[in-house]
Structure 1
Amino acid sequence: MLEMSCEEHDKLAARSQFLTHTIARVLSEMKVESTPIDTKSFQTLVQLKETTMNNSLIDHIGLFIHNKYAQEEVKNLEVALEKVKQNFLDRMNDELDPSVSKH
């Protein structure tokens, strides 16, 4: 047991537990499965999905509904994914634009 405020507990739970379950559910929605050319990192993602999907959906939803920090984590995840996507698009556009100097 660790002594902490309820607010600190909720922040930590949202970051560790809720985010983990959310990523696992995203991987499940994407139907992520092992492949013949898996990297160790990809194997870890598949393992995360398989392990976490055995946990209760009700608990996951409960965290989202009752923990304001879990809701913030969903927003943070959306913003982060959009930033990563934009970085890809920017890089792709740089590669396709002949006026961009390549060093």
Structure 2
Amino acid sequence: MADYKLNENWTIGGGIGVYNGSKTKDFEGDILVNNLLAVDPVNDHNPTPNHEKYDLDGISYRFGVGYEKEITANWGFNGGIDYLYMEIDDEEEGNVYSNGFSYNLGLVYNF
């Protein structure tokens, strides 16, 4: 991730994130225990896996713009908007895509 300050007030930025790992389904609880005891009568097996581990890899991108304004010597305002895009290659679910905007507003006080 990197940001570049265009002038005293405006900033642009972006970044790339890379994810590599795994996820584990850890089935616990009363409802699950009752479901694990149930057997699928058609296929004669338990339909719910138990403690399985799956590969999970992904990449994400962020592009954004920010604004900062000093109101007084101690008070300031900042805000920004980012566009986020993520693509996850989930061994269990297949490719999963997510995108959207992230907004932020803030009031700043400097001591």
Q: Verify same fold: TM over 0.5.
A: no
Which one has the bigger helix percentage? Answer: 1
RCO comparison, higher one (Cα < 8 Å, 6+): 1
Structure 1-normalised TM-score? 0.15
Higher share in strand: 2
Q: Which has the larger radius of gyration?
A: 2
TM-score by length of 2: 0.15
